[in-house]
Chains A and B, each alone.
Chain A
Amino acid sequence: MSEIIDRPRYACALGGALFTLRALPRTAPIIHASAGCGYSLYGALSAGAGYLGGGYCGGAAWSSTNVVEREIVFGGEERLEEQIRATIELMDADLYVVVTGCMVEMIGDDAAAAAAVFRDAEAPVLAIPTPSFKGDSYAGYDMALSGLFRGFTRLGAEKRKDTVNLLGLVPGQDAFYKGNLTELKRLLEQLGLRVNTFFGEGETLDNLRNASEASLNLVLSDRYGIKAAQVFEEIHGVPYRVLPFPIGAAQTADFLRAAAEAAGVGTAAASALIYREEDRYYDYLERIADIYNDIDLQRYAIVAGDVNYAPSVSRFISDELGWIPKLTVITDQLNAEETAKVQSRFSGWESGVYPLIKFDPDTSAVQRYFPLAWPQSANERYYDSFSPAVVIGSALERDFALQYSLPLLTVSFPVTNRIVLNQSYAGYNGGLSLASDLITLLMSWR
């Protein structure tokens, strides 16, 4: 049973599915839903993803049936068939995917039947049910990917030992998904692997079509992509391995060792790569050794974000920047098993410095738990205040940050106060970006 949420930082399953499809090359979604769904979700997810925009055929350009009362009463399948026919006639794409909203699911429209009418069309037409009362954007990512793995990825492909698929970074909900995938793929390729990320630089629909050649799916999330990986295993017989989303040198070293081991490429290759990359990484990071110590850039921190960012950012600032995270709020809707899994990521840190960890999807949660993480002033003569400190979260932390006059870096969805192009926070390059962005925040008065 879901709970009411104060300012949720995700949209619905349809939204997650749309942005997953938005990130696929030459793919045209066909929305079978009420008029406002597509455009409203675009408004949410584009801005939240650092102004990702409509791209090739998204936003106001998305094909959408815009069903009204008449279809709700009499059924919308005929309207959907008409819309699919026109979309194929008008829009140039290599894959058409019907995704559905609440209304048409409630009245029981059979989108798959409407899509099946076009089975002989030049490009494939799939239907994936994505009703929003069945989950949030992250769930929508899993629904979309599962549908694609079932209906689009080639069956019976011969396995290649050197090929892996990378799952768990949700386009849009992770504003930096493309930069992150690029960096992670770069590293895995240096282990001698072929990598499909589906949404990464230079990839085409063939990466998705031939994903069944892989011998392993790596899921870089304790929640996102796991269901899709299970579907993949069921349909294509490829096992999966869940690893945490890595930010910075320490976490990326763990990631590369675990990935090398799981992919069977030997740890020697991983060790050599880690050695090379760490040298390069610290060559850059060393630059701030002066200023960090000249003016004392250690900070307390509050972190709020999703299951990928919140634990990894917290560990990064604790283990690598030597900061002191005091409160981390994880804002997903999680079940008990997922909660335990995420909780377990807060252990084994070299610094031994851990924050208070709270699981709460409300935006007011940060305010609610802050007094538990730090004693509030009782008007003492001497008060050990929460200062100097920063907030690392989303744009929804702005009111809190303003109230306490704390600088805010937005990394987790929504990132409405930044433009995101090819930046990343994953891997070694991502760690350097995060260090640079955090310190820049403290230096911007100069």
Chain B
Amino acid sequence: MNYLNEKTPPVREDRLGAGIAFGGLCRELCSVQREGCLNKASRSFSQSQGCQFTLSLAMTNSLRNAVIIMHGPIGCGASCIGSAGGSGTFKRLRDPKAEGLVWINTNLDEADVINGGENKLRESILRADREFRPEIIVVTVSCVPSLIGDDVDAVIAELQEETAASIFPVHCPGFKTKVMATAYDDVYHGILRSLVRRPVRREDSRVVHDDLYETQRRYRESRTVNVLNVGMMSRQDELELERLIEALGLKARFLPCYSDDDDFREALESSLNVSICGTHDDYFLEHLKELYNIPYIIDTMPVGRKNTGRWLTLIASRFGLEAEAKRLIDAESDMLDKALEPLRAELKGKKAFLTGGAIRVLATAEIAQDLGMEIVGLKGHHYDGFANVLFENLENVDDVVINIATQQPFEHINLAKRLKPDIFISHTGGNNLTAKLGIPILPIFSQSYNYMGYSGVYEIARRMRRLLFNSRFNLNIARHRRLPYRESWYEKDPFAYIKREG
């Protein structure tokens, strides 16, 4: 794969055959996916959802020492208003001196729609560079400048000479793709073209060559693993994964979220890239392999005991550390098992419905099964082949209902009325509705809690027990506030608005 000479990556419905509209059983989904016709489906009724622009911000806004330019009308990137406070806080967990989120909106108006927005973009880039002195300037390009044909790349090329910061564009107009996860490819595309490069190390002939130093450096590089994090991961998640990787005698480095310019340069000094989510990284890792010959692993997500074990084993096997990994996994597994005993007794038999990114949902389902819970429903934002492997650590889910929908809460509300789960493990978006089912909700991700690795299993289990212990809040909401759907909706097929073709 090498798309770096293109302006933008291909959209995921084309590149991966990814689909956003499906309802049926797990085994049906897998066969439809293999036939390659998932990407044709759409809906005759749909609800608001994320787009590739908004999702791009989840990555770009986490970059340290960066200014993000929202090239579009005043509303594009307004979601930063909601995330700005948290962004600063989470950056400071990686670097206490980190600045809060800074973004500039080019504020395209009617005149710009006619005359083009390139001048405002130029002004914004120069202002970002001079006023904030960042290392990185990201230009995220929304629908309007894409449609009017602003030559963003030309503006950037022209200004790169005049600015101290590295500038890269993220072409992510919302109307271009139904699969918002295309955003990850868009951002990685920019990172690959602008930030990833071999560090320049000055050769100084007066310094005596030190073999020991050189050997140590090469040894360190040979033991360093890049773990590709995602914006919604917590610092606690990173610390848990780091603990496990270091227990194998390796060193972990986290990229690309919460990184700064230097981190991307050092990124090439590693001997393995490991993804934690197949939805996230294949575009980046395939290019790094192609261009810099760094091998990679994209397999499972380290959420859940078996998934974490599998993830660690795959890493260990690249370094001939299988035996060490097995000892570590057995020891961790034993300790976890003992800790889970009392929790299992309380959670056994509870019915769970999970919603979120398909990979995360299927990985988290393993925890629910591990705790003796019953999976009654699954829902993923989109589906492509990367999620298939996650089914290997699940038991008896062939006949469980799975819904592929980017948000679209009306479908899961209908499903839940039939399936009557005891708990939702749920993505943000639509919980104002889900709460009205009167069921407790565990967020499927959070930047403030641990979900990954072995400690994550325990954390999820004890939080679910706590949520089930008193569900009064959602019960009261359900009693007093009604859902917006007509009663007739609940008698219909939950997937009645999915169109197979086009």
A positions within 8 Å CB-CB of B: 1-15, 28, 31, 34-48, 53-69, 71-72, 82-83, 86-87, 89-93, 102-103, 106, 131-137, 364, 395-396, 398-399, 413-414, 416-417
Contacts and interface: CB of A to CB of B under 8 A. Distances in A.
Contacts of A42: 48
Interface string B416-452: 0000000000000110110000000000000000000
B340 to A, nearest CB: 33
Contacts of B109: 1-2, 133-134
Contacts of A35: 48-51, 174-175, 178, 180, 406
B486 A103 contact: no
Given A4-B105, A72-B147, A92-B486, A86 B78 contact: no
Interface centre among B51, B73, B99 (most CB of A within 10 A): B73
Given A68-B176, A106-B147, 12 more contacts: A5-B74, A6-B104, A15-B78, A35-B178, A36-B52, A36-B174, A40-B75, A45-B81, A61-B48, A89-B45, A364-B131, A396-B81
Contact of B45 (A12, A39, A40, A87): A87
A59 B48 contact: yes
B180 A36 contact: yes
Given A61-B409, A91-B484, A398-B100, A37 B75 contact: yes
Closest 5 CB pairs of A and B: A36-B51, A12-B75, A38-B48, A47-B82, A86-B45
Nearest to A414: B81
B391 interface: no
Contacts of B319: none
A38 B48 CA distance: 5
A304 to B, nearest CB: 15
Given A15-B78, A40-B51, A133-B108, A72 B175 contact: yes
6 contacts: A4-B120, A6-B104, A60-B48, A64-B46, A72-B175, A83-B44
A34 to B, nearest CB: 4
With most chain B CB atoms within 10 A of its CB, the pick from A36, A83, A103, A136 is A36
Contacts of B127: 4, 6
Contact of A63 (B45, B51, B106): B45
A103 B147 contact: yes
Contacts of A71: 175
B470 interface: no
Given A35-B51, A35-B174, A102-B143, A1 B45 contact: no
B234 interface: no
A136 B74 CA distance: 7
Given A1-B109, A8-B78, A414-B82, A90 B489 contact: yes
A46 B110 CA distance: 27
Contact of B103 (A7, A41, A57, A102): A7
Interface of B: 44-54, 73-85, 88, 99-100, 102-113, 120, 123-124, 127, 131, 143-144, 147-148, 173-178, 180, 406-410, 429-430, 432-433, 481, 484-486, 488-489, 497
B430 A61 contact: yes
A99 to B, nearest CB: 11
Contact of A416 (B53, B82, B430): B82
Contact of A61 (B84, B106, B433, B481): B433
Interface centre among A2, A45, A54, A56 (most CB of B within 10 A): A2
A60 B430 contact: yes
Contacts of B407: 39, 60
Contacts of A413: 81
A415 B17 CA distance: 41
Contacts of B173: 34
B144 to A, nearest CB: 5
B84 A395 contact: yes
A90 B178 contact: no
A335 to B, nearest CB: 13
B486 A64 contact: no
Contacts of A47: 81-83
A10 B49 CA distance: 20
B484 A61 contact: yes
Contact of B110 (A31, A92, A134): A134
Contacts of A102: 73, 113, 143-144
A207 to B, nearest CB: 21
A90 B50 CA distance: 22
B415 to A, nearest CB: 15
B81 A133 contact: no
B79 A40 contact: yes
A103 B112 contact: no
Nearest to A59: B432
A28 to B, nearest CB: 7
B89 to A, nearest CB: 10
A274 B143 CA distance: 53
A271 B110 CA distance: 48
A36 B186 CA distance: 16
